[in-house]
A and B are shown apart, each in its own frame.
Chain A
Amino acid sequence: MLTVEENDRLTRVGPNTPMGELMRRYWQPIAALAELDENPVKLVRLLGESLILYRDRKGTLGLIGDTCPHRRISLEYGIPEDVGLRCPYHGWVFSETGQCVEMPAESPESTFPSRVKITGYLVQDIAGLIFAYLGPDPAPLLPRWDMFVWDNVLRDIGSTIIPCNWLQIMENSLDPTHVEWLHGRFSDYVLERIGRKDLKREFFRVGEGGPVPEGQITGNFDHEKIGFDEFKHGIIKRRVLGGQTEDHPNWRIGHPILFPNVLRVGSNFQYRVPVDDTHTLHIWFTAYPQPPGETVEKQETIPFYHVPLPVDGDGNADWNLMDNNSGQDIAAWVTQGPIADRSQEKLGESDKGIILYRRMLRQQLAIIEDEGEPMNVFRDPAANVCIDLPWEGQEDPWAYARRGLMRRTGQAGKYAPVLRDMVARLDGEEALKGPVH
């Protein structure tokens, strides 16, 4: 339980808020490069600020204030030029730094443009994903996490905007036992609701339930033990599931939560980017390992997909969109409210991962309040060539992918175009028929 004041301190992300200041110390992903192929100008909201992301005709990315300072119209319909973005109203042009470089209606000798500058933030891309940095100078390095630089993988990027605060989404990643219920028992209930009772996996906890009917798969997701370890990039989450021992990679290796707002599960990153206090840009970045002996060429474009919301802000649900883990998770997060009221919660021992994470947030807040540098801010290029992370599938990536990813229930795999292609190629088109299960 948190006080109302502490809940505000950990959740609110606007300029000059404690958490907003912490989040601004990190490069935050804002869009896929492929999104700009269709429309090179995109309105982006990040950490409570309204901005315009654009790619000019020479390929330079810019992230600038959303309003032309001349007559205050939106730059959302700006015209990309060879250099910069032109306001559609009177033609003022702004470079990627936000500097006005052209005012067509003013005298050619006017020095006025040099005195007009709007917000301009740094942007960089890696592996098809565009990141922005809104923090103090000097900007740190854009982290080169392992999946961004692996060879011989295929990648895709999905996103959606979820109408709730970022913290309740992140806390879900420190809460292992929800898997057996939300992605087990509730998942079975969803299949029942959409008329596919035959696909149920009959999840149960040890000691519960009767014999498993013939032909049904038993999903023994019961957690016998959970564990968490702080490490240099965040927290490692471990679990021993029914029938497993501590020698299983689920416990021996576990998977990381990267501070402050990334889950790494399998070969998938889930970024929870605060749009504002009550909306979160959720990005799924996946690198798909390939079968042994197969090589793939580097993709020219990393495909992008949109993930539909299974519930809207009014609680209206589409059960057909809840046959997969992300659909189930999103439904849970949204029903916690725009900002979960932690002054009313009741935590138990199984919530110790959430408490550990909140402690880490507070510790890192204290560091920046003392003008220190928080964790996961990288400045040494030699240490940023490839930042390897532990994950359960690291000993046999293809086996892990074949067993987990290919069912398409995890992450947002139901919608991922590269995964759909892989499933069709390896298991046939029939395997793509819904629902996923």
Chain B
Amino acid sequence: MNLQDLSVGFNVLLDTGDLAEVLSINDGEQTVRVCYLDALGQPQLVGSEVWLSADEVISIDMGSHSEGQT
């Protein structure tokens, strides 16, 4: 997703289906550092921090509701 739509502290949905919290954003590299909050496929990831590309972040988490413009 577009990194300008993100802020530190946002919870985001990743393309893996996992949930993560945004820790920092690198606009130049188009990357975002996140901490996994929920990784149902790989629970060992919870609490770990990684840099992801912008394309691996799908949307801001809205809980059981999700919507967006196309």
Whether the Cβ atoms of A358 and B17 lie closer than 8 Å is: yes
Whether the Cβ atoms of B58 and A6 lie closer than 8 Å is: no
Shortest CB-to-CB span from A250 to chain B, Å, is 13
Question: A224-B69, A224-B70 known; 4 other A-B pairs, CB under 8 Å?
Answer: A227-B67, A347-B58, A349-B68, A362-B17
- A353 at the binding interface (Cβ < 8 Å): yes
Residues on B with C-beta less than 8 A from A229 are 64-66
Q: Which positions 7-25 of chain B face chain A at CB distance < 8 Å?
A: 13, 15-17
Residues on B with C-beta less than 8 A from A238 are 67
- B41 at the binding interface (Cβ < 8 Å): yes
Whether the Cβ atoms of A230 and B41 lie closer than 8 Å is: no
Whether the Cβ atoms of A3 and B41 lie closer than 8 Å is: yes
Q: Which positions 332-359 of chain A face chain B at CB distance < 8 Å?
A: 346-353, 355-356, 358-359
User: Could you tell me which A residues sit within 8 Å of B by CB distance?
Assistant: 1-3, 5-6, 9, 177, 223-230, 238, 346-353, 355-356, 358-359, 362-363, 365-366
Residues on B with C-beta less than 8 A from A359 are 17, 40
Whether the Cβ atoms of A355 and B67 lie closer than 8 Å is: no
Shortest CB-to-CB span from A25 to chain B, Å, is 18
Pick the contact of B16 from A1, A9, A223, A230 — CB < 8 Å? Answer: A1
User: Could you tell me which B residues sit within 8 Å of A by CB distance?
Assistant: 1, 13, 15-17, 40-42, 55-56, 58-59, 64-70
Residues on A with C-beta less than 8 A from B66 are 227-229, 352-353, 356
Pick the contact of B59 from A3, A349, A363 — CB < 8 Å? Answer: A349
Residues on B with C-beta less than 8 A from A365 are 40
Bound together, the chains give a CA A37 to CA B34 distance in angstroms of: 59
Bound together, the chains give a CA A238 to CA B64 distance in angstroms of: 14
Whether the Cβ atoms of A352 and B17 lie closer than 8 Å is: no
21 A-B pairs with C-beta separation under 8 A: A2-B16, A2-B17, A3-B16, A223-B70, A225-B68, A227-B67, A228-B66, A229-B66, A238-B67, A346-B15, A346-B55, A347-B58, A348-B58, A349-B58, A350-B68, A351-B15, A352-B58, A352-B66, A353-B66, A356-B66, A359-B17
